[in-house]
Structure 1
Amino acid sequence: MENAFDLPAVSDPMSRHPKIPGPGEPIRLHHSLCYGCGDDAPIGLRLKVIAGEGFTVSAQMVVEQWMQGGPGVIHGGVLTAAFDEILGTAPLTIGAPVVTAHLEVDFAKPIPLGSTLHLDAEVLAKERRKVFVRASAHLGDPENPVATAHSIFVEIDLKKHFAAYRDDAAQSRP
C-alpha cells in the first residue's frame, strides 16, 4: 500500500490565524449537530477542542460504554472519528477550513472503557490547498501513546462546499 503522507519538501508559509482562541481556550464547534464536536448531536463524541501553542490543539474524551468494540475496549472506528475531529480542527489554527482527504491511524495498545483519552494534534505543513497534520492519543502519559494518526486535509470554501447539502452549514469557525 502506498503511503500518501509525504510532507512537502518546502511548506507554504504558515502563521497563526488572528481569530483563533489563545492557548487553553476552546475552539468553538462548527455546528451543533456534528458527530465529533456538536453539543446537540443525539449520539456523538462532543469533543471540546482546545487551542494550544502555535499550530497545536488538544482534547480529552472519556471512553464510555457505548463506544465499546472488543470486550472492555474502545471501538477502532470511534477512535478514528475522534482523531478525524481533532486533526480536522488543527488547521483552523492557520485559518484553513478543511475536509479530510487521507487519514491513517496506527493502533498501539487497547484503550479501556472508563479511561480518559488525551488527544493532541499539530499542523506540520501546508502545500497549496493540502494541510498535513499529525496526532497522538495517550492515557495520561504523552510519552506512551496508545495510538497515533496522520492526515492530509484539503482546504475548502465552506459556503461552496456544503451549499448543496445544507444552506446554513457554512458557518465558519474559529
Structure 2
Amino acid sequence: MSIHTPKNHQQCAICCRPFFNHHTAIQFILMSDGGVQGEIVPTEKVQGYQGVMQGGAITTLHDSAMTHCLFSRDVCAMTARLDVRFIKPIPLNTVIQVQAHCLKSKRGMYLLQSNIYVDGQCYSKAEAKFMQFLDNR
C-alpha cells in the first residue's frame, strides 16, 4: 500500500523527484507493523567517497523515510532533531532498503527511528523528533 503525500509536500526535491539516482523517485509502502519501507538504488549522483553514499544523502534518506511514516498517519510534521549513526559505508549501485517506525507521540511531538539495510544488514540508524504543524493541505 502506497503512502499519500500531502499537497504541500508534492514538490519536494527529495521525495518527489529522482534524488538518489537519475531514474526514480523513492516510493514508500506501509508495512504490517505500522512502519514504512522504501527501496532505492543510489548512484554516483549521491556519491561521497569513491563508490559509497555521501553522509548527507544518507541522513536525507532517513529523514524522508520518517517523514513518510508520519504521512502514513496523516500527520504533517517537520524535523526538530535528527541523530544519525553511520555503521558501514553504503555502497552505490546496490539495492538499499530503508525502514522507519514511529516510537511514540505526545502533543504534536513524534519520536521516530529509521534503519538502512543492504542485503539484510543494518548499515545506518537514525532517531528523530518531529513537530507537527497544522497546515497539512
TM-score (norm 1): 0.70
Q: Is 2:87 the partner of 1:108?
A: yes
Alignment-derived partner of residue 129 in structure 2:
152
Instruction: Note the C-alpha offset of 1:150.
Output: 0.5
Structure 1 gaps of 5+ residues are 1-24, 159-169
The answer to whether the 8 Å contact 2:115/2:125 transfers is yes
Q: Is 2:55 the partner of 1:76?
A: yes
Instruction: Note the C-alpha offset of 1:63.
Output: 1.2
Q: Output aligned runs, 1:120-139, within 5 Å.
A: 120-139=99-118
Instruction: Note the C-alpha offset of 1:140.
Output: 2.4
User: Which is greater in Rg?
Assistant: 1
Q: CA RMSD in A?
A: 1.5
Q: Choose from 34, 38, 54 the match for 2:16.
A: 38
Could you tell me how far apart the structure 1 residues matched to 2:105 and 2:4 are? 23
Q: Percent identity?
A: 23
The structure that is strand-richer by fraction is 2
The CA deviation string for residues 95-118 of structure 1, in whole angstroms up to 9 with x for no partner, is: 321110011110000111111110
The answer to whether the 8 Å contact 1:29/1:37 transfers is no
The CA deviation string for residues 74-125 of structure 1, in whole angstroms up to 9 with x for no partner, is: 0010111111100111123333211100111100001111111100010010
Structure 2 gaps of 5+ residues are none
The answer to whether the 8 Å contact 1:32/1:38 transfers is yes
Could you tell me how far apart the structure 1 residues matched to 2:34 and 2:130 are? 15
Equivalent position amino acid for 1:97 in 2:
C
Equivalent position amino acid for 1:155 in 2:
Q
Could you tell me how far apart the structure 1 residues matched to 2:35 and 2:119 are? 18
Could you tell me how far apart the structure 2 residues matched to 1:53 and 1:133 are? 17
TM-score (norm 2): 0.88
Could you tell me how far apart the structure 2 residues matched to 1:84 and 1:147 are? 12
